[in-house]
Amino acid sequence: MDRHPDLGSIWDWGRGYPVLIAAGGIAALGQAPWGLWPLTLLALGFGVARLGLTNASRRAFFQSLALGFGYFAVALHWIFEPFLVDVARHGWMAPFAVILMALGGGLFWAVGIALVRWLGRDQLRLFAICCGLMLGEMARSFLFTGFPWALLGHIWIETLVAQAAAWGGPHALTAITLLIVLGLSARSVLGAALAVILGFAMGFVADVQDAEFAQDDAPIVRLVQPNAEQHLKWEPGYAEAFFDRAVALTASGAVPDLVIWPETSLMYPLESEGARQQVAAASRGAPTIVGALRTEGQTFYNTLAVIGADGSVMDRYDKSHLVPFGEYIPFITLLGRLGVFDLTQGWTYGSGTGAQTVDIPGFGPALPAICYEYIFADEMNAAAERANVMIFITNDAWFGNYAGPEQHLMQARLRAIEQRLPALRAANTGISAIIDARGGIRASLALNQEGVVDAPLPAALEPSLYVRFGDWPIGLCFLVALGALTAAPRWKRIDPGNTRQ
């Protein structure tokens, strides 16, 4: 029979693939904007238990794929939004994008589970499935340039458990999630409860161990949110109006100590001295960070630049982790021959040299990231110099008005927790936010609003364990778990009753 002997009939009804797809979809409701993390634990616990009933490896693969497909179809449903900016040209791609993204995420889960179950053979099956999910989540964070969006551990970002990321990063949160899921799938209420308590205890200890530095007379930061709609952003007439709007917002009210504009908010090339002079005049002596396109020969760069009081470029950073098929085309020669086109309308960006700090007068070194880049926790650790603050500029108008911008904001909060640094996030259409070093939002401006955010810069904390050691500790723990799982069948072959003295 296709049944695991240790599981009761309570899970037995969920044999069909539609049930597993539905379970995966429910599990995704722990992600922003819903935040229903208990549903993630329960639905994923059910899904893992159902997978544990399956002996046939081929069926287990496709059932794992179904569970993952449901999860990613809901969690990443917003991925169709960029294709609706120019509906006539790209709208037909939208449903394919959602389906392919869901299948891609599901494949990481299915391959991870299949591989770990093969290593562990037929013992400790539920533990093997959870290890397979962990492997799948880690693999999709790094392979093929990585896409660590809507990781299972992200369900904790608005809870105390998230503070444990200061010790082990996003994958530590995923490990906590899967420990709870393991207890639920094995119908061990005590085990699941202990894992929940462990997660909150780790978060509590990580939170209270950091004493906030005293920061008298904290500098005032202004985030500018011009609210430029993406389908109009570069249209003649509108582009100039959006730039003038950002200039007016910068020049309004009291003079701040630092002004930050969103990604590509400078409608003119960075080389335009007249545009930089306008920005400097509006900032009234305060340094201003702008997002702009920079040209070097025939190459465009998506750049963050620090503009001084005289309009000069004091420092800059070129985006280095580009969006596949959005900012560059993998295998572009082959795809061109096949007639495939992309959102970049035939041209791609050049890539910067990697993570680095920029110097801001009065603030010291700052760690910049442009849009998509800061979803990569490991890359935020790659800068050689410790920063005092993180600067995130983005244009979330591509992501629609619901889940996409909310999930992107959550990642900014998680990076602040991991780095124990404040994060200043300027977004074209929102959500702009000033985030403290524990991931709390001190001030923000909602989606689709024009305005500014003025608030004191939160204090930085001591570098976290994650800053010092990165993903190595959680990776080592995972390898130990895999080793134990691989050795378990050998241990179970020993029959004490047949041993000789």
Catalytic residues: 263, 319, 371
Q: Amino acid identity, residue 375? A: I
Residue 54, token pair as written in the block? 């399956």
Quick one: which of 201, 198, 206, 56 has its CA closest to 117?
A: 56
Q: Amino acid identity, residue 464? A: S
Scanning the structure block, which residue is given the tokens 């999630």?
177
Quick one: which of 217, 185, 368, 372 has its CA closest to 289?
A: 368
Residue 250, token pair as written in the block? 């910068």
Scanning the structure block, which residue is given the tokens 């409860």?
193
Give percent helix, percent strand, percent coil of the chain, each to the nearest 5: 50, 15, 35
Q: Taking the CB of residue 165, how many other CB atoms lie within 10 A of it?
A: 31
Cβ distance 176 to 151 under 8 Å? no
DSSP class of residue 91? G
Scanning the structure block, which residue is given the tokens 């200061």?
166
Instruction: Measure CA 187 to chain center.
Output: 31
Quick one: which of 280, 275, 215, 227 has its CA closest to 453?
A: 227
Scanning the structure block, which residue is given the tokens 């770990």?
116
Quick one: which of 384, 478, 476 has its CA closest to 130?
A: 478
The upper half-sphere exposure of residue 403, i.e. CA atoms within 13 Å in the direction of its Cβ, equals 19
Concatenating the DSSP letter of every residue in 189-258 gives HHHHHHHHHHHHHHHHHHHHT-PPPP-TTPPEEEEEE----TTTTTSTTHHHHHHHHHHHHHHSSS--SE
CA angle 107, 128, 499 (to 5 degrees): 150
Q: Provide CB contacts within 8 A for 492, sequence distance 6+.
A: 123
Burial of 297 (0-12, 13-18, 19+ CB in 10 A): exposed
CA angle 496, 500, 501 (to 5 degrees): 110
Quick one: which of 416, 396, 362, 411 has its CA closest to 221?
A: 362
